[in-house]
């Protein structure tokens, strides 16, 4: 158990819908990262927040957005869902945002778009 | 196109054999990490290397960061069935603070 929690564990929805994925970082961690893992694309970095502020942006689509709240939990919003958005979405947290920082991954949310 | 290329993609070996997994890029990274992921779970960090030329050993695992901080290798000695899993390298890009993961190496160690 990494100490990072993600809800829900599974999510099944239809194309065109909007969903929200939630992540609670480890106690004391200020940085939250979101990743998408699909079979054909591997693990892709989406976005990073540090203490409520966006720190780095990866391959995040415009239909996706994220935020980190004052209590440091984070939400990833996915809208106008397409079949290709079906994937495992991981959240990770770390204490700071330095290069040598250890990221601890949550168990993931499996999104299926039908 | 992946920024980090891992090879081989798949590896099936017998218990007791040695193996090396490679992670290569044309980009410079401020740090490079190796993870192991089991089906249905999140990746678990094995090691972080920061300095060019750095070598780290964790029991039977030896990690090396290239001198130019563009590539890395993971060597496992006397592999065991418990080593089976997906091995991922990940680099934090030097200038833009973004993370990139390699495509992974799926290792199967047969008893």
Interface of B with A in 73-92 (CB under 8 A): 88, 90, 92
Q: Taking all residues of chain B, what is their mean pLDDT, rounded to a whole number? A: 91
Contacts of A90 in chain B (CB under 8 A): 42-43
DSSP B98: -
Give the model confidence (pLDDT) of A55-65 as tens digits.
888 889 999 99
How many beta-carbon contacts under 8 Å exist across A and B?
Answer: 57
| pLDDT higher than threshold 70 for residue B109 | yes
Beta-sheet strand order (sheet of B71-76): B5-7, B19-24, B71-76, B61-65, B55-58
Instruction: Please tell me the distance from the alpha carbon of residue A35 to that of residue A3, in angstroms, as a whole number.
Output: 17
B31 min Cα distance to partner chain A (Å): 5
pLDDT value for A78:
98
pLDDT at B95 over 80: no
Q: How confident is the model at residue B3 (pLDDT cuts 50, 70, 90)?
A: confident
Q: What is the DSSP letter of A59?
A: S
Q: What is the pLDDT of residues A18-69, one digit of tens each?
A: 999 999 999 999 999 999 998 777 889 999 999 999 988 888 999 999 999 9
| Cβ neighbours of B45 (radius 10 Å) | 18
The reply to whether residue B99 touches residue A48, judged by beta carbons under 8 angstroms, is yes
Residue A100 confidence (pLDDT)? 67
- Cα distances from B55 to residues A2, B7, B33, B77, B78, in angstroms, run 26, 19, 12, 15, 19
A5 touches chain B (CB under 8 A): no
**pLDDT tens digits for range B10-44:** 999 999 999 999 999 988 888 899 999 998 889 99
Judged by CB atoms closer than 8 Å, whether chains meet at B101 and A2 is answered as no
């Amino acid at each position: 158990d990494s100490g990072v929690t993600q809800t829900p564990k599974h999510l099944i929805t239809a194309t065109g819908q909007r969903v929200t994925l939630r992540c609670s970082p480890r106690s004391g961690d200020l940085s939250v990262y979101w990743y998408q893992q699909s079979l054909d694309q591997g693990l892709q970095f989406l976005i990073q927040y540090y203490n409520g502020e966006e720190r780095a942006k990866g391959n995040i689509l415009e239909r996706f957005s994220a935020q980190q709240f004052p209590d440091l939990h984070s939400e990833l919003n996915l809208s106008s869902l397409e079949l290709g958005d079906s994937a495992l979405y991981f959240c990770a947290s770390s204490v700071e945002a330095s290069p040598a920082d250890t990221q601890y991954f949550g168990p993931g949310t499996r999104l299926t778009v039908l | 196109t992946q920024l980090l290329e891992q090879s081989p993609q798949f590896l099936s070996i017998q218990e007791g054999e040695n193996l090396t997994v490679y992670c290569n890029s044309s980009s410079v990274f401020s740090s490079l990490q190796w993870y192991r992921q089991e089906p249905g779970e999140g990746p678990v960090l094995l090691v972080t290397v920061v300095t060019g030329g750095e070598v780290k050993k964790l029991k039977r695992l030896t990690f090396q960061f290239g001198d130019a901080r563009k590539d890395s290798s993971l060597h496992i000695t006397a592999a065991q069935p418990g080593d089976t899993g997906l091995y991922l390298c990940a680099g934090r890009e030097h200038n833009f603070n973004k993370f990139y993961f390699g495509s992974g190496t799926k290792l199967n160690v047969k008893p």
